[in-house]
Amino acid sequence: MKTPTTPPSLSKLLKGIGPDNLLQLLAKVAEPTVSGEYLHWDKLRHRTPPFDLSLREWWLGLKLQRGTQAKPIALSDNCGTPFSFNLADPIPEKLHEIDLKAGGAVQMPEPVVNPESRNSYIVRSLMEEAITSSQLEGAATTREVAKEMIRRGITPRDRSEQMILNNFQTMERIIQVKNEPLTEDLIFEIHRMVTDKTLDNNSAAGRLRRDDENCVVGDDFGEIDHVPPNPIELPARMAAMIDFANGKTPSYFVHPAIRSIILHFWLAYDHPFIDGNGRTARALFYWSMLRHHYWLFEFVSISRIFLRAPVKYGRAFLYTETDDNDLTYFLIYHLQAIDESIRDLYNYINLKTNQTKALGQELSGMVLLNHRQRDLISHALRHPGFLYSIKSHQNSHSVVYQTARNDLLDLVSRGLLTKEVRGKSFSFKPAKDIAEKLREPGP
């Protein structure tokens, strides 16, 4: 990924500019954005300045407006310069939308809030996040293979599948500890879970980088994007991050979503582990959002959005680092990704609702099927050669073994599935005449 062009330094831009000229400049550049966009110098330099300003004067005006609104936090770079952010547009609007759509008494479609079906949606979200978060880090397994591995409880065959299974189990754990404060032990536990059986040196799991384990973040061509802090600083930096995550710092109010996003950035920036930093950072983001009662985040996958345009994800980090540690770039990108992930969830629910309605017309003689059976039959109609197991059905819907077994045997008794013995367990596949069976009138 190409490193963004570093902006001119503020000190050089201010040389030779008197107070009167500064006042005139601020009158012409009255906002920190350009037509609602929070532009980095890398993009601004290709725009035409307003009025009679030069590019450097325009950039200076923007920097001054941003600086007056900047809110510092306890994270600093390798030179001791603090990171900060401001609440420029469109941040306030995006935060308002998150409050309305993701927390409190938000009204969601019936399938998500219905205790009978919500577990299926949670499992789907956990699998999607596990897969895409791993793919961001290089996992090469396809979605279908990964989903079947999780559903059937198959032992991972390679590092990619192990990464995905680790992420899935970690996300399950995040939901369990969502009400607990963040501690060093919890961070180490999360890191051990995401890196289990995937590190070259297994002793590096659940501990900070050591003095002889300096590392850099870069691409396959030797381009260095980020040099993390020295390992000797990591204990103190992690303590500061934990205080921030638990709301002990700073002294001013930080919106919970902003705090969660900065926590994501913070761990990724400090890069405290040899490997698994990105997956741990995204897991901490989920922990923070759920701890602040944004319960919808049990159902959305943020990494799915990052994976669609991984260059944008990486550039959001670089824009912050190359422009005086301005976190606003990362905040805006992340908030847009959250917005897109919520829209994805609504679209998925609408799709499933329409499929259920259509299937309901086909199931005229099968009115007693429960939602889990209807989901399986819907899948079976699209995949006539697919094999199901009690374990896969159990994992797909987060139900106990006996419930899954009863579901499948009931479908066999109705003639919709056939049963055969494979090894020591049963396998089930769609009956050859399943479509005709579904069209038979009820009693």
CB atoms within 10 A of CB 38: 22
User: What is the rounded CA–CA span in Å between residue 318 and residue 328?
Assistant: 12
Catalytic residue among 40, 191, 264, 271: 271
Question: Which residue type, as a one-letter code, is found at position 346?
Answer: Y
Alpha carbon 75 to its chain centroid, in Å, reads: 22
List, as residue ranges, the binding site.
217-226, 275-282
Note every long-range contact of 99-102, with CB atoms under 8 Å and residues 24 or more positions apart, other chains counting: 101/296, 101/342, 102/289, 102/294, 102/295, 102/296, 102/297, 102/300, 102/338, 102/342
Rounded to whole angstroms, the Cα distance separating 183 from 369 reads 46
What's the rounded Cα separation, in Å, for the pair 233 and 75?
Answer: 12
CB proximity list for 80: less than 8 A, separation 6 or greater: none
Residue tagged 């009956």 (tokens) = 431
Closest C-alpha to 300, from 89, 90, 98, 94: 98
Residues annotated in a binding site for ATP: 217-226, 275-282
292 an active-site residue? no
Q: How far apart are CA 286 and CA 305, in angstroms?
A: 14
Quote the strand ranges of 333-443, DSSP E.
417-422, 425-430
Q: Which positions are catalytic?
A: 271
